[in-house]
Chain A
Amino acid sequence: MGFTLKAAWLAALIAATYPLAVTVQVALDALFGDSLLLEEWLNGSRRTVAHAVVDGWVASLPWVLGFWAVAILLRAVSGPQRLAELGTLLIVGAALVATILWLSVQVPVLLVLVLISAAALECCRPRRLRS
Chain B
Amino acid sequence: MLSTAQAKVVIGKLLVSIALAAPAMAETRASLIGGGNTVDHSQVQIEANVGWLQTMFRDRNIKARTYFGAGDSAEPDVAYLALAEPSSSSTEALPNEPRVQYRRHQLPEVSGSTRKPELMEALRRDLASLPAGDDALVIFNGHGGIERADTRNNYLKLWDDGRMTVSDLESLLDAAPAGAPVRFVMAQCYSGAFASLIYDDPRAASGFRANRCGFMSEAADRLAEGCGLSLEETEFRDYTTYFFAALGGRTRSGEPIEQRVVDRDGDGVVSFRESHFYALLSAQSTDLSRSTSEQYLEGWSPWYLRWDSLAENDGSIYWSLAEEVAHRYGWDTRAATLSALRGLYAGTVDAADARRALAQKELRTLKEQPAGELAGDAANGRHQALLDQQRAAETAGRESRDATRMLTQVEKIYRLRQLARLEQALATYGSAAERSRYADLVHCEAGHLSP
Contact = CB atoms under 8 A, between A and B. Distances in A.
A44 interface: yes
Interface of A: 22, 25, 28-29, 32-37, 39, 42-44, 52, 55-56, 59-60, 63, 100-101, 104, 106, 108-111, 114
Contacts of A59: 302-303
B303 A55 contact: yes
| 9 closest residue pairs by CB, A with B | A33-B309, A34-B309, A59-B303, A110-B304, A43-B346, A108-B304, A56-B303, A33-B310, A37-B307
Nearest to A111: B304
A43 B310 CA distance: 20
A33 B308 contact: yes
Contact of B306 (A34, A52, A109): A52
Contacts of B306: 52, 56
A36 B305 contact: no
Given A34-B414, A34-B417, A109 B339 contact: no
Contacts of A33: 308-311, 335
B418 interface: yes
Q: Is the interface of A mostly helix, strand, loop or mixed?
A: helix
B309 A35 contact: yes
A47 to B, nearest CB: 9
A39 B415 CA distance: 12
B250 interface: no
B369 interface: no
A35 B303 CA distance: 16
B304 A60 contact: yes
> Most A CB atoms within 10 A — which of B335, B343, B418?
B335
Interface in B269-311: 302-311
Contacts of A55: 303
27 contacts: A25-B307, A25-B308, A29-B309, A29-B310, A32-B310, A33-B310, A34-B418, A35-B339, A36-B414, A39-B338, A42-B342, A42-B343, A43-B346, A52-B306, A52-B307, A56-B304, A60-B304, A100-B310, A101-B310, A108-B302, A108-B304, A108-B429, A109-B304, A109-B308, A110-B303, A110-B304, A110-B308
Given A36-B418, A56-B303, A106 B428 contact: yes
Contacts of A110: 303-305, 308
A6 to B, nearest CB: 29
A99 to B, nearest CB: 12
Contacts of B134: none
Given A44-B411, A111-B304, A34 B311 contact: no
Interface in B396-429: 411, 414, 417-418, 428-429
Interface string B427-448: 0110000000000000000000
Interface in B337-389: 338-339, 342-343, 346
A28 B414 contact: no
A45 to B, nearest CB: 9
Contacts of A114: 304
A39 B339 contact: yes
A43 B339 CA distance: 9
Nearest to A53: B307
Given A35-B335, A43-B343, A29 B307 contact: yes
Interface string B28-48: 000000000000000000000
